[in-house]
Amino acid sequence: MKCAVLYSPFDLRLEERPIPEITHNEVLVKVKAAGICGSDVHFFDGSHPYRNYPRIHGHELSGIVEKTGKGVENVKVGDHVVVEPLIYCGKCYPCRIGKYNCCVNLQVIGAHVDGGFAEYVKVPGYLVHKIPGEMPFDLAATCEPYSIGYHSIHRAQVTDADKVLVLGAGAIGLTAIDFAKLAGAVVYVAEVSPFRQNMARKFGADVIIDPSREDTVNGILELTNGEGASVVIEATGNTKVMENTENLVAAGGCIVIAGLTNEKVAFTGIKFTNREMTVMGTRNSARAFPAVIDSIASGKTHSDILITKRFPFQDIVSALNYTAANIVSEGKVIIEF
């Protein structure tokens, strides 16, 4: 099979390798579409904290079941599927309470083990989800980023009574907008990129705040009669933005940190008590794929708008270079097989 192997930063090579052999409970998927995630860009440029080489990356995957192990019963050969990329142990505390996305032994397909920037990928059977046969493979490949937006909104238990502020309108922020609007909430978005501001409008954001032109705190307080947002979704990964969430959330409200940073984040201690705010993390997703598949397949999301560029697999080197150079002026870039 043809595959794209990253040997070191920027050293991506197209190679021929044997098709993976599957075991009892595994599925072989013929990849049809794969999204390029921000993490793939950071593996490519060497800045990702979990980088390990050589590796076949790619974890936003859709395709067709080519072969199944004898223990697999949830899908059959020929089924159209998406892949949930989290391999979990099922035994540790988070796994035992249903938070397998926080598994202490977690391995991510396309990060810790080889992924889907290849013609075929083998995955545990429990990570393969059937999709409708008429669902386009490129839209199906957005299920993984959409699952993260879904999980963020689900964590905050957003309802139609909420005023949700989304900080950052990259792929995760945009998918959070979609699910917040599906829950009936009013959605405000703070974003500096003109391209992403326009994307947020297309996704149904009620108000766009440009932090480069106006103070976000003053803008939110004015929009909410001085109360603040009942839910704040932080999707920038910027430490200062994370710290400012304490000034944006309403008393009794909820902050969900979806952005990633290795730096320490500080909150004012008294605000935990006198505002009784809830601050929670969110990691990937758990049990989200069935609902996400249904939402995308039924046309309830803006997956078609999220995808802004496509490359054939043989041009994957150009695709990664392009995505790295245009990360704030493109939506989701899809590799097609």
Q: Residue 44: what pLDDT?
A: 92
DSSP 167-214: E--SHHHHHHHHHHHHTT-EEEEE---HHHHHHHHHTT-SEEE-TTTS
pTM of the model as a whole: 0.95
Q: Residue 272: what pLDDT?
A: 87
Instruction: Answer whether 2-141+302-336 and 149-281 agree in fold.
Output: no
State the amino acid at position 82 in one-letter form.
Answer: V
pLDDT for residue 48 is more than 90: no
Q: Residue 266: what pLDDT?
A: 94
Average pLDDT rounded to a whole number, residues 311-325? 95
Reported as a pLDDT band with limits 50, 70 and 90, residue 278 is very high
Among 328, 309, 302, smallest CA distance to 33 is for 309
Query: Residue 40: helix, strand or coil by DSSP?
Result: helix
Reported as a pLDDT band with limits 50, 70 and 90, residue 50 is confident
DSSP at 142: T
Rounded Cα distance between 286 and 292, Å, is 11
For the chain, the structural domain boundaries read 2-141+302-336, 149-281
Average pLDDT rounded to a whole number, residues 19-31? 96
Average pLDDT rounded to a whole number, residues 67-85? 97
Give pLDDT tens digits for 184-201.
Answer: 999 999 999 999 999 999
Mention every residue, 6+ apart, whose C-beta is less than 8 A from residue 110.
40, 55, 56, 57, 58, 59, 61, 85, 116, 117
Pairing of strands 26-36, 120-124: antiparallel
Q: Residue 260: what pLDDT?
A: 87
Q: Residue 287: what pLDDT?
A: 95
Domain 2-141+302-336 homologous superfamily, CATH:
Medium-chain alcohol dehydrogenases, catalytic domain (3.90.180.10)
Domain 149-281 has CATH 3.20.20.140: no
Give pLDDT tens digits for 93-126.
Answer: 999 999 999 999 999 999 999 999 999 999 999 9
Rounded Cα distance between 85 and 107, Å, is 8
Chain-centroid distance, C-alpha 192: 20
Average pLDDT over the chain reads 96
* Residue 304 vs residues 135, 256, 299: alpha-carbon distances, Å: 12, 26, 9
Chain-centroid distance, C-alpha 24: 29
Rg (CA), the chain: 20
